[in-house]
Structure 1
Amino acid sequence: MTSILDRPADTTVAPDAPIRPRPAEADRAPRVSWLRRHGASLLWLLPVLAVAAVVQSLNMAGSPQRIDDEGTYVAQAWAVQNLGELAHYTYWYDHPPVGWLQISAYTALTGAFSRYSIAVLAGREAMVFFTVVAVALLWVLARRIGLSRVAASVAALVFAVSPLAVQFHRTVYLDNVATPWLLAAFLFALSRRHQLAGYAAASASFGIAVLSKETYLLALPFLAWVMIRGADRSTRRYTLSIASALLVLIGLSYIALAGVKGELLPGAGRVSLLEGITFQLGTRESSGSILDTGSLFFATVSQWWQLDMVVIVLGAAASVVGVFLTRVRPIAVMMVFLIAFMFRPGGYLPVPYVIMMLPFAALLIAAVSDSAVRSLRARRESRLGTAAGRSGAVVWVAVTAVAAVAIVPLWTTQLRGFFLADLDAPMRDAQGWISDNVPKDSRLLVDDAMWVDLVDDGFARDNVIWFYKLDTDGAVRAQSPNGWRDSDFIVTTESVRTSGGSSEGIRQALDNSTVVASFGSGDQEVDVRRIDTDGAAQAATDADADAAARSQVGRELAQNPSLQVSDVFRQALSDGRVDPRAMIVLGQLAAAGPISVADPASLPGESEGLFRQLEIIPADGRSVDDLAAVVDGLGSTYAPVGADPTDDGLIATWSALPPSGLLG
Structure 2
Amino acid sequence: MAQHSRETRDRSPAILPGPGLRTSAAHRLLSLDIVLALLALTGGLRVLYLAAPDPALPSEAATVAHAYALGHLTSFADAGGAGVSRFGWLQLGAWTMVSDAFGRSATALAAVRETMLVAAVVTAVLLWFLARRLGLTHWAAAAAVLFVAVSPLALGLQRLVLVEHLAVAWALGALVLITRPGARIRHDVVAAVCLLAAVLTSPLALLFLPAAGWLLVRRAPVRAALVTVLLNLGLGIAYGPAGGVLQPHLAAAGRPTAADWAALDPAWAVLSAVALVAALAFAALRPFAVSGLLLAATLLVPGVQHTAVLALLLPVTPLLLAGVAQAVTRRRTPAHLSDTGRARRTRLTLAAVAAVAAVAVGWSSGYPALQPSTDRSGPLAEAQKWLRDNASGSWLLVDDAAWAELANAGWPTGMLAPPAACAVACPPAEWAVFSGDVTGLRERYPALDTALTGAGTTAVFGSRDRRVTVRRLGLPPPDPSAPPEAPARAHAGAALTASARISLAPDAAAVLREGRADPRLIATIAALSALQPVTVAAFPEVSGEDPAGQPRRRVLLTGGEDGVTAFYTGQRDLFRPATVTRTGAGVLVTYPLFAPPGLLVPFSAP
- Give, in whole Å, the separation in 2 of the partners of 1:636 and 1:248: 72
Query: What displacement does 1:116 show?
Result: 1.3
Q: Which residue of 2 aligns with 1:306?
A: 263
Bigger mean CA offset, 144-153 vs 52-61: 52-61
Q: Secondary structure at the match of 1:365?
A: helix
Q: Please show how residues 428-577 of structure 1 align to structure 2 within 5 Å.
A: 428-446=381-399, 448-467=400-419, 469-472=420-423, 477=424, 480=427, 486=429, 488-493=431-436, 496=438, 502-505=444-447, 512-531=454-473, 538-539=477-478, 541=480, 545-551=484-490, 553-555=492-494, 557-558=496-497, 561-565=500-504, 569-570=508-509, 572-577=511-516
Identity %: 27
Greater shift after overlay, 588-597 or 157-166?
588-597
Give the corresponding residue for 1:251. Answer: 235
Pairing 1:645–2:582 present = yes
Instruction: Provide the aligned length of Structure 1 versus Structure 2.
Output: 576
**Is the contact between residue 59 and residue 418 of structure 1 (CA under 8 Å) also seen in structure 2?**
yes
Partner of 2:141: 152
Mapping for residues 110-509 of structure 1, pairs under 5 Å: 110-231=99-220, 236-237=221-222, 239-255=223-239, 258=242, 263=244, 280=250, 287=253, 296=254, 300-344=257-301, 346-375=302-331, 378-379=332-333, 382=335, 398-415=350-367, 418=370, 420-421=372-373, 425-446=378-399, 448-467=400-419, 469-472=420-423, 477=424, 480=427, 486=429, 488-493=431-436, 496=438, 502-505=444-447
Q: Residue 71 of structure 2 is aligned with which of 76, 81, 84?
A: 81
Residues in 2 aligned to 1:643 and 1:125: alpha-carbon distance in whole angstroms: 42
Equivalent residues in 2 for 1:34-49, closer than 5 Å: 35-36=25-26, 38-49=28-39
Distance 1:595 1:546 in 2: 25
Question: SS of 2:550's equivalent?
Answer: coil
Q: One-letter code of the match for 1:244?
A: T
Query: CA separation of 1:163/1:90 partners in 2, compared to 1, >3 Å: closer, same or farther?
Result: closer
Distance 1:559 1:342, change over 3 A: same
**Contact 1:490–1:530 (Cα < 8 Å) also in 2:** no
Q: Is this contact kept in 1: 2:441–2:448, CA < 8 A?
A: no
Which one is further off, 326-335 or 414-423? 414-423
Residues 493 and 92 of structure 1: is their aligned pair in 2 closer, same or farther, counting only changes over 3 Å?
Answer: closer
The residue matched to 2:354 in structure 1 has which SS? helix
Q: Which moved more, 1:359-368 or 1:102-111?
A: 102-111
| Partner-residue secondary structure (3-state), 1:307 | coil
Q: Which moved more, 1:189-198 or 1:366-375?
A: 189-198
Rate the CA distance shift 1:508–1:404 in 2: closer, same or farther, 3 A: farther
C-alpha deviations, 1:165-192, integer Å up to 9, x for none?
1111111111111111110111122234
Q: Which runs of 5+ in 1 are unaligned?
A: 1-32, 265-272, 288-295
1:336 partner amino acid: L
- Whether contact under 8 Å (2:518, 2:551) holds in the other structure is yes
Q: 2:351, 2:180 → 1: CA distance? A: 34
Q: CA 1:632–1:62 in 2, change beyond 3 Å: closer, same or farther?
A: farther
| 396-405 or 207-216: bigger deviation | 396-405
Partners in 2 of 1:183 and 1:98 — Cα distance? 18
Contact 1:445 1:487 in 2 (8 A): no
Moved more, 74-83 or 122-131: 74-83
Structure 2 CA distance for partners of 1:58 and 1:355, relative to 1, 3 Å: same
> What is the distance in 2 between the residues matched to 1:390 and 1:317?
24
Q: 1:615 aligns to what SS in structure 2?
A: strand
**Post-superposition offset of 1:505:** 4.9
CA contact (8 A) 2:456 2:473 kept: yes
Q: Deviations over 1:54-89 (max 9, x none)?
A: 11112523544875533322222222222265x566
Q: Structure 1 residues 89, 342: CA separation in 2 closer, same or farther (over 3 Å shift)?
A: closer
Q: CA deviation at 1:145?
A: 0.8
How far apart, in 2, do the equivalents of 1:68 and 1:340 lie? 23
Shift of 1:385: 11
Query: How many angstroms apart in 1 are the aligned matches of 2:526 and 2:134?
Result: 82
CA offsets per residue over residues 520-552 of structure 1, 9 Å max, x none? Answer: 333333333444656xxx459499633344345
Instruction: Give 1:465 deviation, angstroms.
Output: 3.2
Change (3 A) 1:629 1:337: same
User: Retained in 2: the 8 A contact 1:445–1:466?
Assistant: yes
Matched, 1:610 2:570: no
Equivalent position amino acid for 2:119 in 1: F
Per the alignment, do residues 517 and 35 of structure 1 end up closer, same or farther by CA in structure 2, a change over 3 Å counting?
A: farther
TM-score (norm: length of structure 2): 0.84
Structure 2 SS opposite 1:643: strand
- For the 8 Å contact 2:398–2:432, the answer to whether it is kept is yes
Q: CA deviation at 1:601?
A: 4.6
Structure 2 residue aligned with 1:100: 89
**CA contact under 8 A between 2:55 and 2:156: conserved in structure 1?**
no
Q: 2:572 aligns with which of 605, 618, 635?
A: 635
The amino acid across from 1:254 in the alignment is: A
Distance in 2 between residues matched to 1:465 and 1:216, nearest whole Å: 34
Q: Which amino acid aligns with 1:443?
A: L
Higher relative contact order (CA closer than 8 Å, sequence separation 6+): 2
